[in-house]
């Protein structure tokens, strides 16, 4: 029996309602059991996060990380949290991706989002845009590219076709708009093809065209240089089906691709679709 843990996120947001709805709509695959992690709070004021709701969310994350580490659960699906409130409690991570990497002592991880039409992975994540060119390096692009290719293989794609985005407009246009694509990104594409021959890497591609090509089926995934480069097209096209997953962990972690949505909590308008897809991906990855 495979056990998948689920956290409710910040319970003053939409996490509890989308979790309940998703589990009500979801047909359990044979051999899978779901376990809600953490304590469900009473008398929560929807739309108004507090230190109590943040603490409950953090306690559930800590429980989930510990159970992943010991193997008590085989995967985890995490509900949306309020990072500002968590930071008040001493949560010193940019997001849940970095939290799980720390707790599971994983120094080779990356953020990936996958939906009905697009799959993207990010070389840099939660950093100021001005720092991206400084943080980019050929080895880092190679590292994340390999994780993305492994994820595609795990999902049954025999020879993953991965498009590597350029950093600058038009992928630098042969140095006219910066030299990072010539000096950093292009060598990474060469190394990826040499070191991971079971996948096909191409690029650097211009970001203003490559996502349309991926949607048409020319590529199985897109490797992006920074957060918004990948998440804007993903959330535009796949907001209701998008799933955030942390690549490289010893056991799968998935999450809906949206936030706490405090403004609509309890109004019956929150879609559980992304949570359902997050649960399904977790099931697929453990079966």
Q: Are residues 136 and 187 in the same domain?
A: yes
CA distance 54 to 229: 30
* Predicted confidence band of residue 215 (pLDDT cuts 50, 70, 90): very high
Q: What per-residue confidence (pLDDT) applies to 234?
A: 97
Q: What per-residue confidence (pLDDT) applies to 91?
A: 96
Interval 216-228 mean pLDDT: 98
Q: With contact defined as beta carbons under 8 Å apart, do 196 and 145 qualify?
A: yes
Q: What is the pLDDT of residues 12-68, one digit of tens each?
A: 999 999 999 999 998 889 999 999 999 999 999 999 999 999 999 999 999 999 999
Q: Are residues 75 and 167 in the same domain?
A: no
Q: Are residues 48 and 70 in the same domain?
A: yes
Strands (E) in the chain, as ranges, are: 2-7, 32-37, 75-78, 110-114, 119-122, 161-165, 200-205, 221-224, 243-247, 253-256
Interval 204-228 mean pLDDT: 98
Q: Are residues 72 and 177 in the same domain?
A: no
DSSP string, 211-261: HHHHHTTS-SEEEESSHHHHHHHHHHHHTTT-EEEEET-SS-EEEESS---
Q: Are residues 87 and 126 in the same domain?
A: no
Q: With contact defined as beta carbons under 8 Å apart, do 270 and 264 qualify?
A: yes
Count Cα neighbours of 279 within 13 Å in the Cβ-side half-sphere.
28
Partnered with residue 75 across adjacent β-strands are: 4
Q: Are residues 116 and 241 in the same domain?
A: yes
Domain that holds residue 215: 108-247
* Domains identified in the chain, total number: 2
Angle at 250 between CA 249 and CA 253, to 5 degrees: 50
User: Does residue 226 have a pLDDT over 90?
Assistant: yes
**CATH code (residue 112):** 3.40.718.10
Instruction: List the single range of 23-27, 101-105, 254-258, 282-286 with lowest mean pLDDT.
Output: 23-27
Q: Are residues 141 and 230 in the same domain?
A: yes
- Percent over 70 (pLDDT), the chain: 100
Distances (CA, A) of 147 to 90, 108, 141, 212, 242: 30, 8, 10, 23, 19
Note the pTM of the prediction, 2 decimals.
Answer: 0.94
Q: Give the position of tokens 């939290």.
A: 99
Q: What is the pLDDT of residues 153-176, one digit of tens each?
A: 999 999 999 999 999 999 999 999
Q: How many helices (H) and strands (E) does the chain have?
A: 11, 10
Q: Are residues 91 and 40 in the same domain?
A: yes
């Amino acid at each position: 029996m495979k056990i998948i843990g689920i956290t409710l996120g910040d319970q003053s947001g939409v996490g509890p309602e989308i979790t309940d709805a998703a589990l009500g709509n979801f047909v359990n695959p044979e051999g899978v059991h779901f376990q809600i992690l953490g304590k469900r709070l009473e008398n929560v004021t929807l739309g108004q996060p507090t230190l109590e709701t943040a603490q409950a969310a953090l306690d559930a994350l800590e429980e989930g990380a510990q159970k992943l580490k010991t193997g008590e659960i085989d995967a985890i699906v995490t509900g949306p949290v309020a990072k500002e409130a968590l930071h008040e409690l001493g949560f010193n991570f940019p997001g849940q991706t970095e939290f799980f990497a720390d707790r599971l002592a994983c120094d080779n991880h990356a953020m990936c989002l996958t939906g009905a039409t697009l799959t993207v992975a990010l070389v840099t994540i939660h950093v100021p845009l001005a720092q991206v060119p400084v943080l980019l390096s050929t080895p880092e692009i190679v590292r994340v590219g390999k994780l993305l290719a492994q994820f595609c293989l795990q999902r049954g794609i025999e020879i993953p076709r991965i498009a590597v985005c350029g950093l600058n407009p038009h992928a630098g246009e042969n140095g006219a708009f910066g030299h990072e694509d010539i000096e950093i990104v292009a060598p990474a594409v060469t190394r990826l093809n040499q070191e991971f021959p079971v996948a096909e890497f191409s690029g650097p591609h211009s970001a203003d065209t490559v996502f349309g090509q991926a949607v048409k089926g020319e590529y199985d995934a897109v490797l992006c240089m920074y957060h918004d480069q990948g998440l804007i097209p993903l959330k535009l096209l796949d907001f209701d089906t998008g799933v955030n997953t942390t690549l490289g962990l010893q056991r799968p972690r998935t999450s809906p691709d949206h936030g706490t949505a405090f403004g609509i909590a309890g109004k019956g308008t929150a879609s559980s679709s992304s949570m359902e897809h997050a649960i399904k991906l977790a099931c697929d990855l453990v079966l």
